[in-house]
Structure 1
Amino acid sequence: MQGSRLFLILALASVAAPALADWKQDYARGVEAAGDGRWSDTARYMQGALAGNATPEKRVRLYGQRYEVYVPQHYAGLAAWRQGDCTGALRYWSQGGNATFIQGFPDLASVEQEGKSACSSASQVATTEKPPVVTPPVEDRTDTRPSQVKPPPPPPPPVVEQTVQLSRDALILKPLVDAYLSGRYADVIKLSAQVPPTQRLRWHMLVLRAAAAFTLAESGADDSATAIARKAVTEARASDATRKPDPDYFSPRFIAFFQGG
């Protein structure tokens, strides 16, 4: 009897475990596809993630020591927007509590706001009103002088569709954020050297560089990563001593390293 019970438990576990892992794997691959701009792949993987778990989470372990914020509706909507489907994008961003949850992550929220603005602008261009029909005045037949009919006014200038773009800062930092979220920490260190040394961008760049190097150092993948992380923390704190890394975005170990560095 006990042997049969043990067999049943093991059989159920073998069926349930892949289902649990599949949505995490789909999400991880979807985030990586988004970082590479492969939007059709992003949409496909996020559909799998949503089928397994549609509830946003601040921090979920995908595999090993990789922890990510879990926002499948955000990435599904982003993929729809990038492929020209504004209706689908707005639908995903409003589902599953995403609209409220995403406000806790300013970088992600700003991307959604840019998408909503772009979709709104495209809608306004598509529904531009037609110019009014101008009726010439009726000639006054009691006047012996030649009638003076005023010419119709010129038509209004054509509406020029304006492309709504991400802010300059978001565009510059986006490759670093995408690489960090995708677990490509060595790429974060390389890309950080390309960020302009402006005061507004410098602190964010240095924190991402420090976090990526810190993760590489902990994994033992790069012997020089610890020195890179310490130097980036020192420069970030010198750049703006009042700012701290967001605990919803970075791991507790890195935040402790940043504060003690």
Structure 2
Amino acid sequence: MVGLYATVAGADYKDSYSRGLEAVKDGDWAEVRNRMQEALADNAEPAPRIRLYGQRWEPYVPQYFLGLAAFKLGDCKTAVAQWRSAANQGVIGKVAALKAAQDRDLSICETRLAGTDKPAPDKPVTPEPVQPVRPEPKPEPAQPEPVEPSRPEPEKPKPEPVRPEPRPDPPKPEPPKPAPTTPTVAQRVPDALLGAMRAFLAGRYAEVAQLAPDTWSDPKAKAHGFLLRAAARHMQAQLEGKDATDAVRNDIRAALAIDARLVPDATVFSPRFRLLFAATR
């Protein structure tokens, strides 16, 4: 079921953007470029502040980070294009720290590009001295060699014609066997669990908190249903300022009773919930 989280969350621009921010901390600029391109493909509208998950709020500026990745990789032309795009300029001014860093790097890039645009001065061409042409000596005419009279060669016996042996017909190729099709993760996951996962990623925690996974027939789906309900109740309690620790722990114990090896995915569930999960047995 771990593949379910990667399948559903992969289409969520917030997941791609969060992974891109982690790559910025690690200095992995090729990964930053890939993740920000994924986020930009799903949502090209920047914003001064969005909620990634739980109480984590960040500015959503994928164009800025695409420009930063290009700058770090030595591509100033792409960096300037991203930073000067209308979408980025409309938001980056509201994020003071990023605006200051962008202005500094933009100035460096513009200086580099201005230096590469200047044509190199023409070098004066010095004519090479012309060497006088010496006439080549004329070759002496060749003396013809004496020709011996040709003798008629005796006739050779004609070889008998070789009859080709009949060739067997080439074997007919067998028709290719159809390749076995492997169902995708989404096809193997029950609809109830898939819908619950999408609701959780969309922040509809109240909806997920009302799940009834104990009525599901698939044991693995049931375990992940209890896990999602526990995480939804945990997030809902934090947002409303309530204490739902007992209900959350009961759902965690129900999930572990079905699958003791179950571990919440770090790309989907918040650090606080994962700590509570690890402390519950």
TM-score, with structure 1 as normaliser: 0.41
Question: Higher Cα Rg: structure 1 or 2?
Answer: 2
TM-score, with structure 2 as normaliser: 0.39
